[in-house]
Amino acid sequence: MVKRIGIIGLGNVGEAVAHSLKKHASLISRRTGLKLEIKSLCDKEKRKRRVAERLCVPFTTQALSLIKDPDIHIIVELIGGIQPARKFIMEALRRKKNVVTANKALLATHGREIFSLAKKKKKAVGFEASVCGAIPLIKSISQGLVSCEVRKIYGILNGTTNYILYKMGKEKIDFAAAVAQAQKKGLAERKPYLDIEGTDTLHKLTILSYLCFGVWPSMQKVHTEGISKISLLDILYAEELNYRVKLLAIAKKDRNAIDLRVHPTLIPIGHPLSETSLSYNAVFLHAYPAGQLLFYGEGAGGLPTSSSVISDIVSISLNEKGIMRREEKLNLKNVKDVKARYYIRFMALDRPGVLASISKILASLKISIASVTQKERKKGKFVPIVMLTHEAREESMRKALAKIDHLPVIQSPSQTIRIEDL
């Protein structure tokens, strides 16, 4: 069976997909009986014509001409961003073509509209590469766990932030120095806000929410905190307490509600997620009745990610249905109602009675303390005090901190990091 493919966007991923498709064409054919043919390559940069020439494939700078080509069965969108990617995908579906994309930002924002058009046109949208690069997570969940109910997901879904936190702890460097290292290695962009502020992780969590629970959440309502406020001090204190700081995407299903969050989290040292180093991604999930499962691997990079894109091209070519989830009505839990344990670091005056006044406020809001450590003694000076709490409601914690941070003995806003004991 011959399937003709058009690829739009010859950047990191697109170029790797084009090369791998050519290189592994005979292997794919032996394994699947499919003859995959790149009909045309497209990039808005004329200099990318060289990529096409090396592969002996026609080239265009006009994406719409490729989408309109009646000989092309599958359009592969690898330009990223919202527009014109949305326009290209919608037009391809309207013309009854299957689509493969790695575009998490677009799916998180317009996924509902894209999948509903695909359903109407009876076409497939492949999106394996949109979450965790090379890890075959989407197919594992939708096919491997087809008889299971996913109940909890804890994911390190962004390699850049994992690299930064890992380097801070490993080399005892501050946040800015770790960001600079990530930029030097090509892991962080010059303006790395999408990664650092948790937006990229939020996009991927949104896609997982659709896949696992059938819910496209409104992203503004998902509590999202990045890692820019995490200091080396907190990473080192966490290690002393046998925890590591990771930026986690968390999803929990509880009867008719889902709890979705993105934030730095303390997780126990020794848990496989805490050992996820450098820019690797890992997803730990609880599914009933399968139990606990761990997925680990390269979350980015053109070549690793190309394997997921090609896997979508092959499975759509073999069975044009694609992965689609029926939407469900579940409420999104407000973060204020979430219960968690907390790590809190206060910068407080080292003088008698300070601990008592902090504890009194916490107790008045029914927050009980599990442990307290005063890190230094400097009479009359500000010193760090680190507390771990038992489980408390987020709303109570916020009220308590608002009061504590107003005490004259407190120097600066307190640092809190939620704990997941996994």
Nearer to ligand NAP, 42 or 410 (CB): 42
Q: Strand, helix or coil at 246?
A: strand
Least separation in angstroms between CB 168 and ligand NAP: 22
- Of the candidates 204, 246, 253, 333, the residue annotated as catalytic is 204
Which residues between 378 and 407 bind ligand NAP (CB under 6 A)?
none
Alpha carbon dihedral 280, 281, 286, 289, in 10-degree steps, equals -80
Residue 300 interacts with ligand NAP (CB under 6 A): yes or no:
yes
Among positions 161, 209, 305, 415, the unique one binding ligand NAP when judged by CB under 6 A: 305
Under a CB-based contact definition with an 8 Å cutoff, are residues 346 and 369 in contact?
A: no
Residue 302, φ and ψ in degrees, nearest 5: -55, -55
Q: Where are the beta strands (DSSP E) in 255-406?
A: 257-268, 280-288, 291-298, 331-332, 339-349, 369-374, 382-389, 392-393
Residue 10 interacts with ligand NAP (CB under 6 A): yes or no:
yes
- b/e string for 333-346 if b means 16 or more Cβ within 10 A? bebeebebebbbbb
Which of 22-30, 76-84, 166-174, 412-420 is the region at the interface with ligand NAP (rule: CB under 6 A)?
76-84
Site string for ligand NAP, 130-159 (x = CB under 6 A): ---x--------------------------
Quick check: bond before 384 cis, omega within 30? Answer: no
Element (DSSP H or E) covering residue 116: helix 104-120
Quick check: bond before 408 cis, omega within 30? Answer: no
Among positions 7, 41, 42, 282, the unique one binding ligand NAP when judged by CB under 6 A: 42
Residue 58 interacts with ligand NAP (CB under 6 A): yes or no:
no
Residue 6 interacts with ligand NAP (CB under 6 A): yes or no:
no
DSSP 292: E
Site string for ligand NAP, 89-118 (x = CB under 6 A): -------------xxx--------------
Contact residues for ligand NAP, defined by CB under 6 A: 8-14, 42-45, 63, 78-80, 84, 102-104, 129, 133, 300-302, 305
Active site residues: 204
